[in-house]
Amino acid sequence: MKYLQTDAFLGESEGSEDTVQSTVKLEMHIEDLEKQLSELPENAPADKHLQLTLDRCYGLLELNRFDDAWSTARQALDAALEAELWLRAVEACDVMFQSEQDESLKALAHGIWLGVTFPIDPELSVAMLQHMIDESPDRSDGAAVAAATAAYIVDLRAEGKARNDLEFFTIQLLGQVARRHSQVEEQEIFDFWVQQLELDDPAKFLPRLSKVLEVLTADDWWFDRDQLRAKIPNDQ
């Protein structure tokens, strides 16, 4: 999967020798992306420019060049919103969250709002919600709401093999949250837990997610949400 942190989820790790080799490859990859960016014609599509820019940002994260990743992604977010490229906007927020800056949690909230509101790649939406779960205390209702939202988005948007993979992932994720939240292990207790927290009703858990995002942003949003809502595709 491109966006989901499956290695961390499954408890896998990388050896030191592999890490050195990966670093060299990443540096070469970043140099190649910078070359491609410099060679783009002035009339190149905005999506192509943002794709290369954000691919570079993800590489910078792997090299722990967090300040550079943040500043580049922050500019990319504004450009993506102006061009109505919602996937790139969420990728920019993802980079900023992973950059470990003072406003990284605020960036995460913006990315989750965009990833839930607009019909982007469901894997990226799920990845943003997984970040929120990882950042939440063990007994947090916010983590439960995020996991329920992830499953809901997969049910709405995912198709084919990706749907099967994401359904399995979000089921495991919700089970993990249930164990952290209430030490839930048995299926019957899990079903009761879901009903008790109203995680089976989007009309109940989506407004709760919205309240969590308000807290994470301290109600200081980088864009006008009402203006963006007006741009939601009519078939959504």
CATH of the structural domain 15-101, one choice from 1.10.390, 1.25.40, 3.30.9, 1.10.10: 1.25.40
Return the pLDDT at 5: 65
- Tell me the C-alpha distance between 213 and 135, whole Å: 13
CB atoms within 10 A of CB 86: 22
Q: Which amino acid, residue 194?
A: V
pLDDT for the residue 172? 92
Question: Which amino acid is present at 54?
Answer: L
What pLDDT score was predicted for residue 10?
A: 44
- Backbone conformation region of residue 223, classed left if phi is above 0, alpha if psi is from -120 to 50, else beta: beta
From CA 74, how far away is CA 78, in angstroms rounded?
7
Q: Which two tokens stand for residue 218?
A: 């301290």
pLDDT at 113: 98
pLDDT at 142: 92
Give the pLDDT confidence of 84-97 residue by residue, as tens digits.
Answer: 999 999 999 999 99
Residue 17 reports pLDDT greater than 90: no
Report the share of the chain in percent with pLDDT over 70: 91
Q: What residue spans define the domains of the chain?
A: 15-101, 108-218
In the prediction, which pLDDT does 137 show?
A: 86
Mean predicted lDDT score pLDDT of the chain: 90
What are the tens digits of pLDDT across the range 35-63? 999 999 989 999 999 999 999 999 999 99
Lookup: tokens for 63: 């090299």
Q: Give tens-digit pLDDT for 83-140.
A: 999 999 999 999 999 999 999 999 999 999 999 999 999 999 999 999 999 999 888 8
Q: Residue 188: what pLDDT?
A: 84
